[in-house]
A and B are shown apart, each in its own frame.
Chain A
Amino acid sequence: MYKYNDFDEGFVRTRVAQFRDQVARRIDGSLTEDEFKPLRLMNGLYLQLHAYMLRVAVPYGTLNSTQMDMLAHLAETYDKGYGHFTTRQNIQYNWPELGDVPDMLSDLADVGMHAIQTSGNTIRNVTADHFAGAAADEIADPRPVAELLRQWSTDHPEFQFLPRKFKIAITGSPNDRAVTKAHDIGLRMVMQNGAAGYEVIVGGGLGRTPMIGKVITDFLPQADLLPYVEAIVSVWNRLGRRDNKYKARIKITVHEHGIDEIRRLVDARFAEIRPSFSGIDQEILTAIAEQFAAPAFKIADTKGYEAARIANPAFRSWTDTNLTQHRADGYAIVSISIKKHGATPGDATADQMRVMANLARTYGHDELRISHEQNVILPHVHKSDLPKLYTALRAADLATANIGLASDIIACPGMDYCALATARSIPVAQEIAMRFDELKIEHDIGALKIKISGCINACGHHHVGHIGILGLDRAGVENYQITLGGDHTETAAVGERAGPGFSADDIVPAIERLVLGYMDLRNSADETFLDAYRRLGVAPFKAILYPQERANAA
């Protein structure tokens, strides 16, 4: 794992000291709120509906146990005992007091973490495949490049006042678990003639105008990555619509100018700046890569694991849903669901964070990941340790066997916390999960992604959910719009609006009807919701959602 060097350490400490001073000046009245707001946002501090909210970055989703313990400490000491993991590999604290925030940032700095550029019109936390460095399908670990991008983008003088926020995601696997096609820049590692490089995708994004990114180059050699990414951001920084906040994102720039024109401008800018990259970046990358060396995987037999699977059906069910194939023999990637039925998606208590940290220490080579789907991953666990790990997870209410199933819902904070929301997300997610748990059909339904956002900003990724739910305000009443057929993987697609929205009382029954209807429509138990949707189109699903209209039309 990457450890801060003296420069990183000094930079973060200085920033904490500056912010401590800024908070003091806000409190003593020398700074007005208008003056203070941009300063607090530069440090990830928002003012929400009921309280402040601090957003802390988990760069490329990677943590060690000491860092996770610190997140628990923050939750307990300065908040109400929990934190909320988001779709951008951040953790948000919902109840800090203003005066405590400098101490929180100082505590984070102790473990090499910070909240810099988690807000504002800057390059945000670079996100990555949450199975990076562990997945069997991986070409190479994308995190060294993610860390290089983090170092390059943090406090980059040219990119502190971009037209709008800018988000980069990276994956080293052909199976895209980083939603690269819905980011401002998506980087997908590919091999060409035995050398690793990147397919570069630009102009993806969700929000008000959802778009799937376009390929700007299908193979970029590793050595050109940093200057090329810089060329893209630089071109957008110049062309981006600063006149209209809703048209400022690079997706609109690409849309308005066309990908060919953007490619031409980026190539020209790249030619200009390439010579100024002397190769130091590649030396730095090599040094970073050494810090991401794989742990010393152990050799042990897995008989006990196989026996436990046979003996304990609950354990077997959990291994079926929550494990992913690891690249090392005898190992598994463990996804810990923090979506127990009825719980708030993405929330973990301080106790749970400590349990996960301890398990990482004991069984997981000290590594944890946060997934964009709001779960926690132990990337390297030997199968022989899984029975004990499972027992410990159960004791902490962390053994829900629902990864990738109907109750593994992404939900943004919505109107329960967020000042921008137009409706609630969390209670809808809770009710849907409870309903499918009551029906006991989740495992029969199979792979299904339900994603919920509390407003058009789409923080809950509803556009790329197989079933997306968008909370709206219709004349002062919560209303929920359903989208169908979205996909966040390498075959990314934006979902299609199903029809009129549903009231808060009707949305859960509508989702239940839709899912049960799909089970009738599918070819076999192996045909997923998304496959069935792609085969049949939207019409039969609309008919299920709006039976009344069909009756009226008849």
Chain B
Amino acid sequence: MARIFTPKVVTANRLMQGDAVWLTANGHWSDNIRDAEFITDEATADLRMMDADTQAHLIAGVYLADAVMGDNGPEPTHFREDFRTRGPSNYAHGKQVDKVENNV
């Protein structure tokens, strides 16, 4: 019997800017968790982590984070990961403003 696997996304910080990024199904790094590949089994998770490790020139501190599938793509389940998709709460800095800029 397969062990129960909590769905995951692969995440890291971008090497140059240090901002949070997520691994997409085609092996790119997106600054939006919704673009991330939603991983539902351990074997894929292992493989993707190995892929990520070969991209050390782009990212640092890669790890697997728990996620659930929402209407528009993967969403974080823990508030820590939620903050990483937004930025800090004391200033409109980080992704919460980058997103606004991207939308205009």
**What residues make up the interface of A, taking CB atoms closer than 8 Å to B?**
26-29, 32-33, 47-52, 80, 94-99, 344, 347, 415-417, 421, 424, 426-427, 430, 473, 476-478
Contact status B90-A50, CB under 8 Å: no
Interface of B is mostly: loop
Contact status A51-B19, CB under 8 Å: yes
Report the minimum CB–CB distance from B67 to chain A (whole Å).
Answer: 13
- Which residues from chain B contact A430 at a C-beta distance below 8 Å? 90
Report the minimum CB–CB distance from B92 to chain A (whole Å).
Answer: 10
| Candidates A98, A416, A426; contact of B15 at CB < 8 Å | A98
Q: How many residues of B sit at the interface, in one of the four size bands?
A: 20 to 34
A477 to B80, CA, bound (A): 10
- Which residues from chain B contact A33 at a C-beta distance below 8 Å? 56, 60-61
A16 to B61, CA, bound (A): 24
- Which residues from chain A contact B19 at a C-beta distance below 8 Å? 50-51
- Which residues from chain A contact B95 at a C-beta distance below 8 Å? 50
| Candidates B56, B60, B77; contact of A476 at CB < 8 Å | B77
Report the minimum CB–CB distance from B1 to chain A (whole Å).
Answer: 27
A477 to B94, CA, bound (A): 22
Contact status A415-B83, CB under 8 Å: yes
- Knowing A49-B20, A50-B84 touch, does A27 contact B15 (C-beta < 8 A)? yes
Top-7 shortest CB links A-B: A416-B88, A51-B18, A52-B18, A29-B57, A50-B94, A33-B60, A344-B90
A413 to B78, CA, bound (A): 19
- Knowing A33-B60, A416-B83, A477-B79 touch, does A51 contact B89 (C-beta < 8 A)? no
Contact status B88-A47, CB under 8 Å: no
A416 to B94, CA, bound (A): 11
- Which residues from chain B contact A99 at a C-beta distance below 8 Å? 16
Contact status B94-A97, CB under 8 Å: no
- Which residues from chain A contact B20 at a C-beta distance below 8 Å? 49-50
- Knowing A416-B88, A416-B89, A416-B90 touch, does A49 contact B16 (C-beta < 8 A)? no
Cβ of B87 under 8 Å from chain A: yes
Report the minimum CB–CB distance from B10 to chain A (whole Å).
Answer: 15
**What residues make up the interface of B, taking CB atoms closer than 8 Å to A?**
13, 15-20, 56-57, 60-61, 77-80, 83-84, 87-91, 93-95
| Candidates A47, A80, A415, A477; contact of B91 at CB < 8 Å | A80
Q: Chain A: which residue is nearest B61 at the CB level?
A: A47
A209 to B25, CA, bound (A): 44
- Which residues from chain A contact B80 at a C-beta distance below 8 Å? 49, 415, 421, 473
Question: How many A-B residue contacts, CB cutoff 8 Å?
Answer: 75
- Which residues from chain B contact A478 at a C-beta distance below 8 Å? 79
A477 to B61, CA, bound (A): 24
Contact status A476-B78, CB under 8 Å: yes
Contact status A97-B17, CB under 8 Å: yes
Report the minimum CB–CB distance from B23 to chain A (whole Å).
Answer: 16
Q: Chain A: which residue is nearest B60 at the CB level?
A: A33
- Which residues from chain B contact A47 at a C-beta distance below 8 Å? 13, 18, 60-61
8 A-B residue pairs with Cβ-Cβ distance under 8 Å, sorted by A, are: A27-B16, A28-B57, A48-B18, A49-B80, A50-B18, A98-B16, A347-B90, A427-B90
A27 to B56, CA, bound (A): 9
- Which residues from chain B contact A49 at a C-beta distance below 8 Å? 20, 80, 83-84
A32 to B59, CA, bound (A): 10
A48 to B13, CA, bound (A): 9
Report the minimum CB–CB distance from A27 to chain B (whole Å).
Answer: 7
A128 to B79, CA, bound (A): 37
- Which residues from chain A contact B16 at a C-beta distance below 8 Å? 27, 97-99
A198 to B78, CA, bound (A): 49
- Which residues from chain A contact B15 at a C-beta distance below 8 Å? 26-27, 98
A417 to B94, CA, bound (A): 11
Q: Chain B: which residue is nearest A421 at the CB level?
A: B80
Most chain B Cβ neighbours within 10 Å, of A49, A415, A417, A430: A49
Q: Chain B: which residue is nearest A34 at the CB level?
A: B56
A427 to B84, CA, bound (A): 16
A33 to B16, CA, bound (A): 12
Besides A49-B83, A98-B16, A473-B80, 15 more A-B contacts (Cβ < 8 Å) are A33-B60, A33-B61, A47-B13, A47-B18, A48-B18, A49-B84, A50-B83, A50-B95, A80-B91, A80-B93, A98-B17, A426-B89, A426-B90, A427-B89, A478-B79
Report the minimum CB–CB distance from B96 to chain A (whole Å).
Answer: 10
A94 to B90, CA, bound (A): 13
Q: Chain A: which residue is nearest B59 at the CB level?
A: A33
A95 to B93, CA, bound (A): 9
- Which residues from chain A contact B17 at a C-beta distance below 8 Å? 51, 97-98
Contact status B61-A417, CB under 8 Å: no
Report the minimum CB–CB distance from A351 to chain B (whole Å).
Answer: 15
Report the minimum CB–CB distance from B85 to chain A (whole Å).
Answer: 10
Report the minimum CB–CB distance from B104 to chain A (whole Å).
Answer: 19
Q: Chain A: which residue is nearest B85 at the CB level?
A: A50
Q: Chain B: which residue is nearest A32 at the CB level?
A: B56
